[in-house]
Structure 1
């Protein structure tokens, strides 16, 4: 299990621990203030942060690595995430019973189309906090409004996101408390993926699961390679078989969901010795 599971999971996956959703945003003023500032100040903060992260590439490697590690540790204290499967999302919605569909701050910053694919999740309604945080977004044209969803409606939205090839991820706001499920892709402007994969600053763990490929069952259709957001799968056209680079796998499950012959499945990362501690 990842570091958060050991610290906050009470023997289980950290995002399935009920205590991770127990903080009340109405009374927890520090967490409430952080969430509001995070959302309302996201664009300005990213305009400052991205150029700084890009400059790390020209620093001597030991210095650049030290800065990246320090940045990741700071993020772990405040706002950190992990890819989760659709099945995990269903289990999360059994715990976090208040669900509000909200605009995506990453898409807003990237100026990519926003269909309202992110969810604010809490154990009790916190509409006034969410309205305060997203006030600037809601005043803009073509920005989705807030929408309270039932569990069934939230799952239907998550299923549509998966069909579009969007990765599900769960996020803390003042760790270990969780308040959001995001659904995004690198192409759509996901800053977590860009920071982790392109800029080298880890802002999310790899998933608790990892893909396993049955090459004998693979038909070589290539659907998994087209769907994988982490480029962990490719197609060997000569042999007409998919190839899995497990070191790149984040365990989001999009590949398994699109594989018709069921040649790809997910297993617990801890059951694969070579990657059990690869987070």
Structure 2
């Protein structure tokens, strides 16, 4: 699933492609993607005639901000936006088509059909699902170690499942939790509330640095993820543990292992993360 850096890369790409464009009409070919409103005619009516003014992001969600409404979009496992200017025909995996008044189109493609879309009046999106349930933004200047420490003190879960909880901290998934924990030498099964303030300070720094480096590299290309123009992220070349089972640790040379924590495949160095 695309995590914060990948979604941020998509956001920046879309910003370069569709700002200032006005939606003429919307065609929904897989209705289950639209979660709010539940009426497709209302969904189309809310978006038609609206001009895109900015593209925001909240955790792993895109926020397409128009005149009066906000489209909140989650890519889930394999969702992608494709910008089209020619006569190309959408394939069977294209489920939502935004047609602009200038003849160009923005397609939402999703092989697994897990993506979601919500439309709200501007100002209402943060007070409703799914955004109302989200925790702090790790790359926001207001996010600090004390806030992370307080949240981790409230849970008896292992640190990896705690960090994957979007109500604790948004934007993190398997890749960047594994990478951040490796950077600070924490085993993913460490109980969250047993971490000291000093450990949480180091973890906070590792999370921020890992995510920022990944954003700067355009994210990680794992499996089928690419951005809205088909470009692949390059941070996967810097991954220290994720998807490197059997390869030598970049620090000590011991083989990277794959274990399961909270039902999720997890990569660790058994020497650096005892």
Q: Considering the TM-score relative to the shorter chain, is it more than 0.5?
A: no
- Rg: which structure is higher? 2
The two structures have a TM-score, normalised by structure 2, of 0.30
User: Comparing both structures, which one devotes a greater share of its residues to strand?
Assistant: 2
Higher relative contact order (Cα pairs below 8 Å, separated by 6+ residues): 1
